[in-house]
Amino acid sequence: MLVVYHSQSGSAARLAAASLEGALEHDPKVRFCRAVDTGTPEVLASTGLLLVCAENSGRLAGAMKDFLDRTFYPLIDHQSTLPYALLVSAGNDGRGAVAEAQRILKGIPFTEALEPLIIRGVPDEEALQNAREYGAGFAAGLEMGIF
């Protein structure tokens, strides 16, 4: 499993770290990478992709959009079909970022394994716990072959 994240304010990074913590309960080999440091080889070597990103002006924030743009055609060329989950740190709504990511990921085509999780505002302990459970649930589903 691969957790890819992008964060400018630190909120998405905190959520990504929490989701990693949960995922490690089921898969000790989870890889954790910043979007700017990740490319097609890392995605191809994974069994599932957990994207943790921020919303910016109602859209998918910069480096995550860049990651998806850089990997889109190479992943199509490799006929990659992975399950994915999407966790969005939103200052306001988050639905625009989710829709944009889903549209891109569907085109690869990746399969949405879990409903996207949108955390609004600065993550508190409840939000971090939700992110832990989200990461754990995704990793458990991959481990059991559900996704």
In DSSP terms, 83 is beta-bridged to: 111
pLDDT of amino acid 103 = 96
pLDDT tops 90 at residue 45: yes
pLDDT of amino acid 105 = 97
Q: What are the pLDDT digits (tens) for 21-44?
A: 999 999 999 999 999 999 999 999
pLDDT of amino acid 131 = 98
The amino acid that residue 61 corresponds to is A
pLDDT of amino acid 90 = 96
pLDDT tops 90 at residue 92: no
The rounded distance, in Å, linking the Cα atoms of 109 and 1 is 17
Torsion 128-129-131-132 (CA) sign: positive
Phi-psi region of 119 (alpha: psi -120 to 50; beta: other; left: phi over 0): beta
Q: What are the pLDDT digits (tens) for 105-126?
A: 999 999 999 999 999 999 999 9
The amino acid that residue 43 corresponds to is V
The rounded distance, in Å, linking the Cα atoms of 19 and 13 is 10
pLDDT > 90 fraction of the chain, expressed in percent and rounded: 94
- Please name the helix (run of DSSP H) or strand (run of DSSP E) that holds residue 1, with its range, or none: none
Q: Where are the domains of the chain?
A: 2-144
- pTM (global) more than 0.85: yes
We find that the CATH architecture of domain 2-144 is 3-Layer(aba) Sandwich (3.40)
